[in-house]
């Protein structure tokens, strides 16, 4: 919706009742659609979960592939924005930063705002 149609981006569904072998086959089919020279980045939800475990053998065999877990919308948007302009290694560094920046605790953020407002009103540090 934000970036429109994207080439060489594939969502691989992992459905209830499917096992690791089924997911490995789905990954294989999706990868066959990719140009051979492309770097590959797997975006998964949980470290050590089935999607992660199914992708690991591919990454072990391919130095131009990697994976990140804990994926969220800010990370996905960053990948789509950067993917044609940076190397996989550069992207991974940026995704670590985005993940850190996007994780916020509301009460802590509100407390900072209140403190800033109080400093402004009182003229005190």
Residue 102: the pLDDT is: 87
Residue 22: the pLDDT is: 96
Report, as an integer, the average pLDDT of 75-83. Answer: 91
pTM passes above 0.85: no
Question: How is residue 113 written in tokens?
Answer: 């705002």
Report, as an integer, the average pLDDT of 57-81. Answer: 93
Residue 111: the pLDDT is: 92
Tell whether the model's pLDDT for residue 45 goes beyond 70.
yes
Pairwise CA distance, residues 60 & 85, whole Å? 25
Element (H, E) at 29: helix 20-32
Report, as an integer, the average pLDDT of 95-111. Answer: 90
Superfamily of domain 20-122: Phosphotransferase system, mannose-type IIA component (3.40.50.510)
Going by pLDDT thresholds of 50, 70 and 90, the confidence category of residue 33 is: confident
Pairwise CA distance, residues 100 & 97, whole Å? 5
Tell whether the model's pLDDT for residue 125 goes beyond 60.
no
Q: Which residues pair with 8 in a beta bridge?
A: none
Of the chain, the percentage scoring pLDDT greater than 90 comes to 65
């Amino acid at each position: 919706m934000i970036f429109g149609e994207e080439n060489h981006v594939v969502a691989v569904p992992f459905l209830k009742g499917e096992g690791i072998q089924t997911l490995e086959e789905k990954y294989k089919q999706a990868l066959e659609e990719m140009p051979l020279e492309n770097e590959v980045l797997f975006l998964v939800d949980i470290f050590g979960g089935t999607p992660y475990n199914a992708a690991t053998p591919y990454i072990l065999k391919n130095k131009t592939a990697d994976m990140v877990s804990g994926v969220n919308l800010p990370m996905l948007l960053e990948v789509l924005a950067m993917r044609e302009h940076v190397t996989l290694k550069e992207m991974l560094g940026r995704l670590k930063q985005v993940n850190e920046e996007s994780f916020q605790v509301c009460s802590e953020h509100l407390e900072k705002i209140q403190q800033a407002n109080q400093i402004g009103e009182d003229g005190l540090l």
